[in-house]
Amino acid sequence: MATNGINGTTSVYRPLKPGIYAPIPSFFLPLSEDLDFSTFESHVVRVAAAGVAPLIAGSMGEAIHLSHTERVKLIHAGRKALDNAGLSDVPIIVGTGAGSTRETIELGNEAAAAGADYAIVIASGYFAGALTRAALKTFFVEISEKCPIPVIIYNYPGASGGIDLDSDLIVELATECPNIVGVKLTCGNVAKLTRIAETVANSTWASTYPRKNPQLNFLVLGGYADFLVPSIFVNGHGAITGLANLAPYTIVKVYQLSEAARKDLTFLPEAQRLQGVAARADYAIAKTSISGTKFLLDKLYGYGGVPRKPLPPIENAAAEAIWTHPHTQELVRIERELSGKTV
């Protein structure tokens, strides 16, 4: 069975396609805080069945709270669950960012050996003030050259000490590093997304700067669900969004309608309507972070739990407020309609 191979040089079995991806939470057993693999596997399959591919050990997955061994076990569990559910074509992206270049490379090697298809890498924020533009470029270049699977750049200032890669640097990396196959923009900067997407959409760019695996393209993905429609209309490729854990059918529908509207504008009003629902909910729910998402998973699907310490669980008043918030309830209603579930 073909895989992505060393540095993406062999034929791709699970290509990275435009669409919707979800950063999967890591679930923990009460009291012990040990990983809850049963819940994790069920959740991976639930979102994948709705058309959402998983990102394991990312920010939402509390990667910073996981050991190397736990990350590997989650990759094994995710792959096994997908394969057993008949979803063997669904790729797995794994967060491999760490404090040092050395450990990031180590995590990339471990993820590849465990069955990950792609690595997503965030710049280390611990010494953010000392990381010059040149240092950041050197970091991503070295990672791309030494990672045995294709790499996605993860730009999230909130989790990297304020480091915010600009469009010029991201385009440079895309141009010079054929093993880099995409970027996730959790900076939420639509103008940045537009500049990068316009560059890589140029017909001559892909042929001039092919990926190491020629079957792959460079994807430009948003980090939230609230600007899917505009991003698709400027040649973006979808999103990796936490909201897809809670409402996968809704977010996939927004993406599908947006793509359809590019060819037939009669689809645009419905795309805009659902985009409004997603945007309002994303804005409200994102404020409650990981603990809020886990609480809402509990309310909607009967599992979720709490984060690992020192992250606190959501406070009771905040939990009640986010569940009863009209924008949350509007999303819940739409998700139930689209998924065919009434409870």
pLDDT attached to residue 242: 97
Residue 120 in tokens: 């997503």
Number of neighbouring beta carbons within 10 Å of residue 56: 28
Give the integer Cα–Cα distance in Å for 214 and 206: 9
> What are the start-end ranges of the H helices in the chain?
37-49, 68-84, 101-114, 133-146, 167-176, 190-201, 203-208, 228-233, 243-246, 248-263, 268-286, 289-301, 316-324, 326-339
pLDDT attached to residue 203: 85
Please say if the pLDDT value at position 219 is more than 80. Answer: yes
> Which residues pair with residue 247 across a beta bridge?
none
User: What average pLDDT does range 52-58 have in this prediction?
Assistant: 98
Give the integer Cα–Cα distance in Å for 187 and 72: 28
> 3-state SS of 203-224?
HHHHHHCCCCCCCCCCEEEECC
User: What average pLDDT does range 189-217 have in this prediction?
Assistant: 95
pLDDT attached to residue 5: 44
pLDDT tens-digit map of 246-288 = 999 999 999 999 999 999 999 999 999 999 999 999 999 999 9
pLDDT attached to residue 12: 47
Comparison of pLDDT for 9 and 72, the residue scoring more: 72
Give the integer Cα–Cα distance in Å for 118 and 163: 22
pLDDT attached to residue 13: 79
Number of neighbouring beta carbons within 10 Å of residue 198: 16
pLDDT tens-digit map of 87-132 = 999 999 999 999 999 999 999 999 999 999 999 999 999 999 999 9
How high does pLDDT run on average in the chain? 95
Please say if the pLDDT value at position 156 is more than 60. Answer: yes
User: What average pLDDT does range 223-242 have in this prediction?
Assistant: 97
Residues carrying an active site annotation:
184
Q: Which pTM was predicted?
A: 0.94
The residue among 104, 125, 40 whose CA lies nearest residue 75 is 40
> Cis before residue 310, ω within 30 degrees of 0?
yes
**Sign of the dihedral through C-alpha 198, 204, 210, 214:** positive
Give the integer Cα–Cα distance in Å for 332 and 43: 17
pLDDT attached to residue 284: 96
Give the integer Cα–Cα distance in Å for 100 and 123: 9
Give the integer Cα–Cα distance in Å for 343 and 337: 10
The residue type found at 15 is P
**Do the beta carbons of residue 101 and residue 133 sit within 8 Å?**
no
> Which residues pair with residue 153 across a beta bridge?
121, 183
pLDDT attached to residue 10: 39
